[in-house]
Amino acid sequence: QAGLEQKYNKYLAGENGRMITETDANHKAIAYGSQEILDPEDGYDIKLTTDSVVESFLEKALKEALEVNKAETAQGIIMSCKTGRIIAMSTQPDFDPNDPPRSDVATLNALSRNRIVADAYEPGSTFKIITLSAALDSGKVTSANEYNCGGSYTVNGERIKCWKSGGHGHETLKKAVQNSCNPAFMQMALSMGKSTFYDYIYAFGFGSSTGSGISGETSGIVTHEKYITENNLARIGFGQSIAVTPIQLCTAVCAAVNGGELMQPYVVDSIVNKDGRVILKNEPTMVRRVIGESTSAQVREILESVVSEGSGKNASIPGYRVGGKTGTAQKYEDGKIASGKLIASFIGFAPADDPEYVCLILVDEPKVGTIFGSTVAAPYVKQGMEETLRHYGYLPTENADTVSVPDLTGMTILEAKALLKEAGLYAEFQDNEEDMVTAQVPATNEVVQRGTDVLLYTAATDVDQEDTGLETAIVPN
């Protein structure tokens, strides 16, 4: 009824057997009439690009992200960035295909929906990878560029805020990316202008289907250039005023870090008959070159620093070189921003010097405080990516300074902070220091790099309205 089985049913179903019998005018078999039996024909088998082991890694990480963050849904995809092969893809919660909830059609439809290809959302800061790539490749920005962030940037009289109210002050290009500084990316977008920036947006595949072969794929939303003002363009620079699907974003980031080639994602490897003969074979397909190899190398280097030094620390994997970008996106309901409802995401790639795999995880409407918006997804990308690298035989190449995370549950936040400091780790929390820790990320005994943030959850942890990026005011009596 849905998914790949529906799309490729003509290959899978085969043909029923038939018995052809000579009959009289009343359609009764003639006693000595001729009869022919046509044997049924088996359908073909479809072999997917997905790896069931990596799929299990991704599903485990998503289920944990869903439970810990009390989220509505969690989605993830792992792709081979050099070929476009989809190695794993999942939306949680899901259902047992052997026992679907057919008694509740609405629930069945919701659980069957492949959000990775069907849902368009504002990507937020993960889109900054595209802005950075375009700005560097167009020559409008170089590594020598510097910015000054005072907490906002004014475009045609409109003051557009940075996520950090006090601003980041003076910063280099690399530091601006590490800080995920909105004003810096607004200036990058404006320096390119509408025509140039839109050329790159379309070249990266936004606004059109990726051609993945998965049913239900949508094209996202890219407003036509003629309707875009400079204010809109500035917002697109940091991931607002544009809507993308997760598979579009993952495919585009693959191009940004693999040397600049946009590869068509695909999930069907081959179609074979019952004797094993290949009827159809899919091969990696390069759609177009988007950016130059030297630009891609610069992007990789900067994004690796985001994980090693910047906001993506919680995605670092001891002994491995990892790059990536965090993102916190607003959600809309009835055309308006839904207060307190966000999508937290992280997209990472490894090995950072010569990427093989890209992993994107989105956590939809986490209900444990938006103070963790930029880190809600990163620990789970780390978890899935580390297991994937080890599964494919990639051994640690760096001598990392690592520590084991202590068990903090049952302690007060104040006690947990002291123990973490002793271990060389940092505490990230929202609630009062007297509150009791009920959960933690990373988990007890997990080995992490020294200096990693540990997220502390308590029974009181809830959505923090102050971090939605919206202007707030006290209503007078």
**E strands, 121-257, where?**
146-149, 152-155, 158-161, 169-172
H/E element, 305: helix 293-308
Q: Cβ of 276: how many Cβ atoms within 10 Å?
A: 7
Pick from 107, 73, 112: nearest CA to 215: 112
| C-beta of residue 214 within 8 angstroms of C-beta of residue 79 | no
What crossing angle do the helices spanning 246-257 and 128-138 adopt, rounded to 10°?
Answer: 40
Residue identified by tokens 């959960």 is 439
Q: What angle do CA 364, 312, 191 make, to 5 degrees?
A: 90
Q: For residue 422, give the DSSP letter.
A: H
Cα–Cα dist 148/382, whole Å: 32
Amino acid identity at 9: N
| C-beta of residue 75 within 8 angstroms of C-beta of residue 91 | yes
Amino acid identity at 427: A
Cα–Cα dist 80/371, whole Å: 32
Cα–Cα dist 324/346, whole Å: 7
* Active-site residue flag, 125: yes
Phi, psi of 87 (to 5 degrees): -90, -30
User: Could you say which of 52, 90, 112, 125 is catalytic?
Assistant: 125
- Extract long-range pairs of 136-142: CB within 8 Å, 24+ residues apart: 136/291, 136/295, 136/298, 136/299, 137/200, 137/260, 137/290, 137/291, 137/292, 137/295, 138/192, 138/196, 138/200, 140/188, 140/191, 140/192, 140/196, 141/173, 141/188, 141/191, 142/173
- Residues involved in catalysis: 125
